[in-house]
Amino acid sequence: DKVGIVSEVHFLRVVMENIPPLKDKHLLIKDVRFERVKVRIYQSKTSNTSQRRGVLYFHGGVGWLGSIRAYERTCRYLARKSNSVVVSVGYRLAPEHPFPAQFEDCVTATIHFLRTAQDHGVDPSRVVICGDSSGGTLTAAVAQALVNRRDVPKLRAQILIYPFLQCVDFNLPSYQQNEKVPILLKERTLVLGLKYMNKDLSILPELFKGRHVPEDLRLKYQKWVSPDYIPQEFKTRGYKPSPTYPPSEELYAYTKAIFDPVFSPLLAEDSVVAEVPETFLVTCEFDVLRDDGLLYKKRLEDHGIKVTWCHLQEGFHGTVFSATLGGAIAFKSGIKGLEKVV
């Protein structure tokens, strides 16, 4: 099984690394390091005396896929269309660098950029962090990690593009409705997440039953993670309440790292969620992670955080990334999502 996982990781990395970059005469592009972290900076060649907005981009890929190169088209598009200085963060990947190395690199890069923004022609009060899929998870986690920092400027906003946000309930309406919808099938979501956390895949059936959640945590988390908080309009494609199974202390002990808000930002305490910046959220109808986004939207709004929500009615997981690749896979929903982000 380990050999199969390594082979799959290698194959997918090769595919993503060979997405050809677009030529762009309008952008100045340079590779530097923010402390130990590799980054690529995209900015317009047009001279501009006023300080611009800065965008740090954390790519998707479940912590073990994706790269600066794979997301070059996405970041070029954002830099061109938004007239921002875009910093693509090349955080270290699992399994070579286990969780939470990815989060640590994103925090390091963000703090460095906030402190040196003016050196890059960026107004420190206009720095935004952004990410898609697991990059959206990293974005939410970094925003939470910085709420109590007084030694750096506050983030202007966070942009969450169909993020994974919780590991408590894998039977929410969106998980049931989109169980077999590509590219992120229900089982595939957990397989990828368990690989990222270096956990044995044999526990999968028990996770689907929710047996990894002890009773005390179940009571705590149901304030934030419950199908009751999903609007009725999102249950019309089908939803069946799941039976409750007895929790397993052994399973909880083995998996408890996944309850860390760095991995599951929806589980952060109220005192943290109440302080995160203004949020732009993208969800897709045909995505198992849709309801993670809806639940976080509710939590943020309950704390008075301004949320601008873009729901792609025809969208699926990965649609925004595919939009930048062009051709047949540049679905209308993805193009709409990209335009909304800009």
Residues involved in catalysis = 133, 287, 317
| Calpha distance 309→295 (Å, rounded) | 12
Strands 37-44 and 85-90, bridge-based pairing = antiparallel
- Check if the beta carbon of residue 162 is closer than 8 Å to that of residue 293: yes
Sign of the torsion formed by the C-alpha atoms of 235, 241, 301 and 148: negative
- Check if the beta carbon of residue 56 is closer than 8 Å to that of residue 87: yes
Phi first, then psi: give them for residue 159, nearest 5 degrees.
-120, 115
| Calpha distance 34→30 (Å, rounded) | 12
Residue type, 36: R
| Calpha distance 51→85 (Å, rounded) | 10
Whether the bond into 277 is cis, omega within 30 of 0? no
DSSP reduced 3-state for 189: helix
The DSSP 8-state label assigned to residue 243 in this structure reads P
- Check if the beta carbon of residue 109 is closer than 8 Å to that of residue 57: no
Exposure b/e, 211-242, CB count within 10 A at least 16 = b: bbbbeebeeebeebbebebbeeebbeeebeeb
Token pair for 151 = 């030694």
DSSP reduced 3-state for 138: helix
Output the DSSP codes for 12-52: HHHHHHTSPPPP-TTEEEEEEEETTEEEEEEEESS---S-E
